[in-house]
Structure 1
Amino acid sequence: MAVNFVISPAVQSVLEELEIQRKKIVSTNYKGWGLILGGILLAFPVTNFGGLIAGLLVGAAAVIPGGVMLYKISDDTAQYKSRFKKEVVGAALSSVDQCLTLDPTNGISEAEFTSSQLFTTGIDRYHTEDLICGKVDKTSFYFAEVHAEYKTETRTKNGTQTTWHDILKGIVFTADFNKNFNGVTVVRPKDFGSSIGAWFSKNIFSVGDKNVVELENDGFNKNFVTYSTDQVEARYILTPAMMERINDLNQRSAYTVSLSFINSSMYVAFPLDKNYFEAPVYKTLLRADLLDDDISILGFMYDIVHELDLNTRIWTKQ
């Protein structure tokens, strides 16, 4: 669905104030890095003609002030980003739906991420932020950005080399399905040839081939394989309308989405190639499309929630 949002005069005033702060941050960053780069470049010819000590002194005379400028402006940058999330993104969400709330420092806990059974790879590093909560009719939902990683270590002649791999870098969405599921149903990408599909095939909740659910939707079956420990329940969950919604979401997403239905919740994980709800630093805030991408994410969520509501009308928790 299309989510309508118009920047209010109050938010516009905040944006104009933040734009001044943004320009100061950019200017200071350029000056700071310019001094550091200039100091390094100047140090080489001075070293050649005046010796190492002279080169270091000349370089330090520019590098140190540049570093101090960057250190001091880092606090302003953090404050700028925090105000943007709270006063701009928060206001935008409230204007779309007053029940929507944003908590920039909270997210999906690692324990819940693991219990969703979308992924079984052990997590070595986990970060989550920007928890958004809301309710549409009887359906409560929340979602947050998640970056879960695992590491591999390789022994080389120079020592141990650590490499980090993404389990998921994107958004995890969950909604109350208003039904206690008897089994576990998992919908995973069918295209295991792609890099992200390969990760999903290794990481998603492991069920055997005997648990494959045959669904009468060619478009859905082309993109996904469905597994469930309860075949009848899986068909109640994945109605024709629900499969069309998932297909639509998948087409609008950068990578193939993945879903699980467990306990009384639905989980959707979809990788993203950018962070949302972040203040731009090197682009102006005073543009009409400033929040278009952020608000479009809400459209994804509302599409799912509205379809969920159709199912909650025929199911109740036992």
Structure 2
Amino acid sequence: MYYNHTIHPELLRMERRRLRLIRLFVLSGLILAGIFLLEFYLDIWVLTLALAIPIGLFLFYLAYRIQRFRNTFKPNVINLVLDFIDDGVNYDVNYPLEYDPKGFIDRQRFLASQIFATPAESYHGEDFITGKVGNLEFEMCELFVSETSPVKNGLQQLFKGVFMHATFPEEAKGRIIIWPKRYRHRHFRAIRDFTWMGGVDVSEEILNPEFQEAYLVYATNRTHVIGILSEPMQQAIVDFRKATGKEIYMSFINREIYAAVTEDKDLLEPHILRSNLSFELIREFFSDIHMLLEIAEDFDRTH
């Protein structure tokens, strides 16, 4: 209902802008083709040189129009999605969700999660969101992290997706990290480093067989695993994984909570040559954010 009444009208408005862009491209293509044919027919070098600068400037203008459309589409839609989330009962009206399209969580905070052991030679992000759910203040963004490949020249992707950090308002002790089993080989160093710091495999404490099959769970001594990783949270993660095919990473480092969802493509990046009127496009972005916030909500509720 919210999509139909609020988001869809905005998508229609942006769709009209996209169609105007397409018409401009078609008209521009016909004009440029006519100019090139005229130059070829006349074969006047001075005329060709004289037209090169205005044609170059016009192509630059077309690229600018495309970029402006992209830069406008995503913030408009994300702000509407955040307005919907912000109306939830667990969100503080005095601490509204805020969005910065160019901001992102810094590298030190990402590495402090201890989920990833990497120099992260390439690290950048976008779509920075901050807010408060229950008693937990959180920040999240899209991140694109790569490191030097050990087997070939160049960089290899380590993580691409949505990353969240939340802070519990009271002192808490214990550390627990969850890695997807199918990516175990990518995170050998992180698992080894956590083991050296006292982490041990505590998968036998996980009561959900599907979660136990899909994830590695390591924790330090005297960490109450089920007290942190509740059974409803385990089931929610399993259901999300089955529904989307995406993986979730998590770590609880004393009072700091970290969670990440893998994502193969850039979320909510608009199409130029085809329509963006898609409920699925919006729902996928909402689902990724909502899953991470559910983790924070569950932790706040059970603690």
TM bracket, shorter-chain basis: 0.7 to 0.9
Within the candidate set 76, 81, 86, 1:97 is matched to 86
The size of the alignment, in residue pairs, is 288
Query: Matched residues, percent identical?
Result: 23
Within the candidate set 252, 258, 266, 2:257 is matched to 266
**What does residue 93 of structure 2 align with?**
none
Instruction: Please say if 1:25 is aligned against 2:12.
Output: no
Give the direction of change, closer, same or farther, for the CA distance of 1:240–1:8 in structure 2 (3 Å limit).
Answer: closer
1:4-28 Cα deviation digits (max 9, x unpaired): 633546x655544432321233345
What's the secondary structure of 1:73's corresponding residue?
Answer: helix
Give the direction of change, closer, same or farther, for the CA distance of 1:146–1:269 in structure 2 (3 Å limit).
Answer: same
Please say if residues 33 and 66 of structure 1, whose CA atoms lie closer than 8 Å, have aligned partners that are also in contact: no
The aligned amino acid for 1:237 is: I
TM-score, reference length from structure 2: 0.77
Greater mean deviation of Cα atoms: 270-279 or 230-239: 230-239
Give the direction of change, closer, same or farther, for the CA distance of 1:269–1:37 in structure 2 (3 Å limit).
Answer: farther
**What does residue 118 of structure 1 align with?**
115
Instruction: Please say if 1:208 is aligned against 2:207.
Output: no
Whole-angstrom distance in 2 between the partners of 1:235 and 1:134:
26
Please say if residues 118 and 186 of structure 1, whose CA atoms lie closer than 8 Å, have aligned partners that are also in contact: yes
TM-score, reference length from structure 1: 0.74
**What does residue 148 of structure 1 align with?**
145
Whole-angstrom distance in 2 between the partners of 1:234 and 1:250:
21
- What is the deviation of 1:84? 1.8
**What does residue 130 of structure 1 align with?**
127
Instruction: Please say if 1:281 is aligned against 2:268.
Output: no
Gaps of 5+ in 1: 47-53, 155-160, 313-318
Superposition map of 1:1-318 within 5 A: 5-8=2-5, 14-28=10-24, 68-98=57-87, 99-152=96-149, 162-192=153-183, 197-203=184-190, 206-208=193-195, 211-213=200-202, 214-217=204-207, 218-289=209-280, 291-312=282-303
What's the secondary structure of 1:23's corresponding residue?
Answer: helix
Gaps of 5+ in 2: 88-95
1:217-268 Cα deviation digits (max 9, x unpaired): 2222211121112343334212322322332333334343211111312111
Whole-angstrom distance in 2 between the partners of 1:215 and 1:153:
34
Please say if residues 162 and 288 of structure 2, whose CA atoms lie closer than 8 Å, have aligned partners that are also in contact: no
- What is the deviation of 1:31? 6.8
Whole-angstrom distance in 2 between the partners of 1:70 and 1:111:
40
1:171-201 Cα deviation digits (max 9, x unpaired): 1122334443433211112235xxxx42233
Whole-angstrom distance in 2 between the partners of 1:127 and 1:34:
39
Whole-angstrom distance in 2 between the partners of 1:203 and 1:100:
32
Please say if residues 107 and 144 of structure 1, whose CA atoms lie closer than 8 Å, have aligned partners that are also in contact: yes
